[in-house]
Amino acid sequence: MKPSIRIRAALLLLLLAALGGCGTAPPDASTDERIVPIISASPPAPTEAPVPPPSRTLDAYKVEVAQHVMRQNLDQTFSGRLPPILPAIVVLNITVRDDGEVEDVEVQRSRNDNASRVAVASMRRSGKLPKPANLLAGNLRRLTFSETFLFDHQYRFQLRSLAGPQ
């Protein structure tokens, strides 16, 4: 025999031996005394992961601030359905420090100077706002966000964070 034929024959014998080992049937559980069936009355109860406390979002904080501003300015606000056409809309940028103190109020957008004055004065009258706990990243000491004042014809307002659909 040539060497290449011997190698082929040896490989063929190895392959046949390997395939022969795969053909054996697993032992029958009824005749093998070493196999003990496990019987469980009920499956184990799944364990639930602990639920972390709800985190405060910026939207939730804006609702708290809006409620505070509305309470502090009852004579300047209105409730209920918004008018079909709003005569004035003012968007303010509000910067609040970590202790709730209003640091800055700036008109971001407005087409009505009277409404802008009412919105800014209402924010100043509101005093200290709720603390923006858990919203300040790292060692930041202030938070800036916007709030929209929706005015009726008498220059009374609702805040967009609390207002329903128009």
Q: DSSP for 69-104?
A: HHHHTGGGB--SSPPSS-SEEEEEEEEEETTS-EEE
Q: Are strands 102-109 and 142-151 parallel, antiparallel or unpaired?
A: unpaired
**Do 144 and 119 meet the contact criterion of CB atoms below 8 Å apart?**
no
| Rounded Cα distance, 139 and 53, in Å | 22
**CA neighbor of 87 nearest in space, from 63, 66, 113:** 113
**Do 157 and 76 meet the contact criterion of CB atoms below 8 Å apart?**
yes
What's the burial of 130, exposed, middle or buried (CB within 10 Å: 0-12/13-18/19+)? middle
Structure confidence at residue 129 as a pLDDT band (50, 70, 90): very high
- pLDDT for residue 46: 60
Largest CA distance in the chain: 111
| Rounded Cα distance, 118 and 123, in Å | 9
SS3 36: coil
Question: Whole-prediction pTM value?
Answer: 0.66
pLDDT in tens, 15-67: 555 556 655 555 555 555 565 555 556 666 665 655 444 557 999 999 999 99
More confident of the two residues 146 and 34: 146
SS3 116: helix
Region 76-101: mean pLDDT is 94
Q: Are strands 157-159 and 102-109 parallel, antiparallel or unpaired?
A: unpaired
pLDDT in tens, 114-124: 999 999 999 99
